[in-house]
Amino acid sequence: MKKLSYLSTLMVFALFLFGANTLNAQDDTKEQFTEIEGKVIDAETHNDLIFADIVLENSNISTVSNSDGHFALKIPSTYADGHIAISYLGYEKIIIPISDFENHRKISLKPVNTTLDVVQISTTPKDAEAVVLNCLSKKSSLYSNKNTLMTAFYRETIKKRRKNASLSEAVVQIHKQPYDNVKSDYIELVKARKTTNYKRLDTVALKLQGGPFSNLYTDMIKYPEYIFTSETMPMYDFKFDKATKINERLIYVINFKQKANITTPLFYGKLFIDAETYALTNAVYSLNVSNKVLSSEMFVRKKPRKADVYPIETAYRVNYRTKDGKWHYAYSNISLTFKVNWEGKLFNSTYTLNSEMAVTDWEIAESKLAKNRNQILRPTTILTEKASGFSDPRFWGAYNIIEPEKSIESAIKKIQKQLKRT
C-alpha cells in the first residue's frame, strides 16, 4: 500500500500553518487574436454541459466549458476562417465556423442513441477487469512517445462553506515525458496570481501541496501506480455499465469499487474506454472516506494541535483528447471537502478545495528538459500569495484560460474593488 499512500500525499490538498515556499513569474504575450465565447447546453433539457471539449480544428488549441457551461477561446488571427468542434461524452459532436459565433451564443448538443446493435452485443467483452488491464497496457502504443510541450491553465480555489477564501490562477508549461518511459513530467511556471482572505480561513491556512502537480498525477495512463497497481487491482470489483458514445465512437463504461472485505480507503468510480482501441477517454472517481481515521491520515499533512480534521467528500476527473491517432492528457479536476472540528468550539468549519487544469495548446518538443530551470516547479511548491494581476483585465493576454464560474467571477470583482480602494 506504499504507492497509494504516496498518491495521497502528492495528489491532494493538505492543511498547513502559515508559511511556505512561493514562486511567481510574469510574461507578456502580444500575439493578435480573436476571442469567441458561448454556452454549451443539452438540446432536450437545456441543462448546462460541464467540461465540454471546445477545440479549434486543425490545431492543438482548446479549452473546456466551466461549471456554468460557459467557455471562451482566444484564436490567433491566422485561424480566423477556421471552425470550432464542440463535443461531450454521450452527445453528438457539432462543428461551427468561427465567423458564426456571437457573444453568449448557446450551443445545443443532442444526446446520442447508445443502443447496441447485434454485432456490438456479440463482440462486447465479458470480463470488465480484463478490459481495464488491456487499457492500462496500451500506454506505449496509443499515447505519445515523444517529448511534448503543453501550455495549460490552472485554477485553485478554497471555500469556507460557500464563500471563496483563496483564489489562485496560473499559466504553466508541462514538459510531458513520453508515455513509454518512467520519467516524471516537469512543470514550468509562466504566469500566476493569487489572493487569500486569511480572516475567512480563521487560523488555518489550507494550501495545495504541489499545485498543478496534483492535477497532473490524475493522468492514470502516465501514472497508473497512483491508483491501479499489481497490488491494488485484486482489491477492486469491476463491472460493465451501460455503454455510451463520443464523436460517434462506442465507449465502454466500467464501474469499479473496492471489495467489501477491504478496509483500506481505495477509489470508486467510472472508467470510459474506447471499444475499438481500448484507450481511456475519461475517468470520474472518488476516494472512499468512510473511515475517518485512515482517510485523515492520508490527506492531512499538518494541522493545529486542537483541531480534528478529516475529509468528508472527494471527487476526481480526468479527460483525454486524441489527434492523429494518439491520445494525450487534456483536463483534470479535483474537489475535496474537509471538516475541521475545533476543541472547545460549538460549531465546526467546512472547507472545499478545488483545483482544475486544462491543456490549451501543445506541440512536439525536441528538447528533453525544461530550458528555464529557474521557473521549474517542485511537487512541494505552493503558488505565490501575491494578488498581482487581478486589477489588470489584460493580465492573461493571448493565453487561453478556463472561464471562471459565477462565484469565482464575483470574488475576482471584489478583489478588483479592494485593490482600487488601496
Tens digit of pLDDT for each residue in 328-356? Answer: 999 999 999 988 888 877 778 888 889 99
User: Cα(167)–Cα(118) distance, rounded to whole angstroms?
Assistant: 51
Place of cell 492528457: 329
Residue 20 confidence (pLDDT) above 70 = no
What is the longest distance spanned by two Cα atoms in the chain? 69
47-99 pLDDT, tens digit each: 999 999 999 999 999 999 999 999 999 999 999 899 999 999 999 999 999 98
User: Cα(325)–Cα(82) distance, rounded to whole angstroms?
Assistant: 22
The confidence band for 202, taking pLDDT boundaries of 50, 70 and 90, is low
The confidence band for 420, taking pLDDT boundaries of 50, 70 and 90, is confident
Residue 260 confidence (pLDDT) above 50 = yes
User: Cα(151)–Cα(357) distance, rounded to whole angstroms?
Assistant: 10
130-162 pLDDT, tens digit each: 999 999 999 989 999 889 999 999 998 888 888
What proportion of the chain, given as a percentage, has pLDDT over 90?
52
* Closest by Cα among 159, 107, 195, 190 to 349: 159
Average of per-residue pLDDT across 251-266: 94
Average of per-residue pLDDT across 372-391: 74
User: Cα(68)–Cα(408) distance, rounded to whole angstroms?
Assistant: 11
Question: If you average pLDDT over every residue of the chain, what do you get?
Answer: 84
Kindly report whether the global pTM for this prediction surpasses the value 0.75.
yes
**Strand bridging mode 205-207 / 349-364:** unpaired
pLDDT of residue 13: 47
CA atoms within 13 A on the CB side of 232: 21
User: Cα(314)–Cα(354) distance, rounded to whole angstroms?
Assistant: 10
pLDDT top residue among 386 and 400: 400
Q: What count of other Cβ atoms lies within 10 Å of the Cβ of residue 310?
A: 18
Residue 324 confidence (pLDDT) above 70 = yes
Place of cell 462486447: 124
